[in-house]
């Protein structure tokens, strides 16, 4: 009898320990979710001065589903950044379809790679290169660097992550002969990008108000835009300049290179 009671007490103790552990994990996950919601969704949004920033664009991935790109273009969306790859081997299942259909509907396109903090930077770049062919009429390649998802719990050192970001960017630049754009949010910018990659064009996510202290080329200002041709909510972005500035940004460097060669 004493042995049976002892085993029962042990089971109760193990159950209590597991319950406490699950409660602690649940609390941290809940807190992270609440903080993420407050940071990215709870603010009332930003009113954009479209006279100052007339060039609008979106960014999409497979979770946007089947997109009617003709309707997107007709709604005065000028450009779209399309998710291509992630990590060392993942390829977005809708990338090629989105890429081809967007270009066919005269939407200016760019492709982006979601960077994994615990993966080799060069190998990640090669995954992107294997799946993305860029022309002179396309936007530069984009490296998406975020403290989000698995990256939030990365165990690599900060210096190691910065080194792999550099390797990825340099591999992009060498292959495409275009300087990449870095996409990031404010938290990640302060932690990894600022002071290390200041010579790269910045595509900054800042949802509650306009970035004032950071020089940005593209600004993502909402995750909840409604765009004809897309059934789900979508990220909306603007270019920092006029239509003429955007054309010069897109074609200016190529024109300069042609003039030098001639």
Which residues are identified as catalytic? 59, 146
Cα 190 to chain centroid distance, Å, stands at 16
Sign for the CA dihedral angle at 249, 175, 84, 37 comes to negative
Q: Which of 105, 177, 103, 110 is nearest to 142 (CA)?
A: 110
Q: Could you tell me if 231 and 67 are in contact, meaning their C-beta atoms sit under 8 angstroms apart?
A: no
Residue 63 Cα distances to 66, 93, 142, 185, angstroms: 9, 10, 19, 20
DSSP string of 216-232, one letter each residue: -SEEEEEEEE--TT-SS
Could you give the CA distance from residue 203 to residue 47 in angstroms, rounded to a whole number?
18
Could you give the CA distance from residue 4 to residue 111 in angstroms, rounded to a whole number?
64
Q: Find the DSSP H helices in 43-94.
A: 69-74
């Amino acid at each position: 009898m004493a042995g049976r009671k002892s085993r029962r007490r042990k089971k109760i103790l193990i159950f209590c320990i597991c319950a406490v552990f699950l409660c602690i994990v649940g609390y941290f996950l809940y807190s992270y979710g609440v903080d993420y919601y407050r940071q990215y969704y709870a603010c009332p949004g930003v009113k954009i001065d479209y006279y100052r920033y007339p060039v609008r664009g979106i960014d999409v991935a497979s979770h946007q589903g089947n997109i009617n790109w003709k309707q997107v273009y007709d709604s005065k969306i000028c450009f779209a950044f399309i998710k291509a790859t992630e990590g060392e081997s993942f390829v977005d299942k809708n990338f090629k379809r989105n890429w081809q259909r967007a270009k066919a509907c005269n939407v200016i396109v760019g492709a982006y790679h979601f960077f994994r903090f615990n993966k080799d930077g060069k190998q990640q770049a090669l995954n992107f290169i294997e799946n993305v062919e860029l022309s002179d009429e396309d936007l530069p390649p984009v490296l998406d660097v975020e403290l989000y998802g698995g990256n939030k719990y990365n165990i690599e050192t900060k210096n190691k992550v910065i080194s792999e970001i550099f390797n990825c960017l340099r591999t992009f630049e060498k292959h495409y002969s275009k300087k990449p754009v870095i996409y990031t949010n404010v938290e990640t910018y302060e932690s990894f990008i600022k002071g290390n990659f200041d010579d790269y064009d910045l595509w900054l996510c800042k949802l509650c108000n306009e970035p004032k202290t950071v020089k940005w080329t593209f600004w993502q200002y909402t995750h909840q835009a409604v765009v004809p041709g897309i059934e789900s909510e979508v990220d909306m972005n603007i270019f920092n300049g006029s239509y003429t500035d955007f054309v010069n940004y897109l074609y200016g460097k190529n024109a300069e290179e042609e003039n030098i060669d001639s």
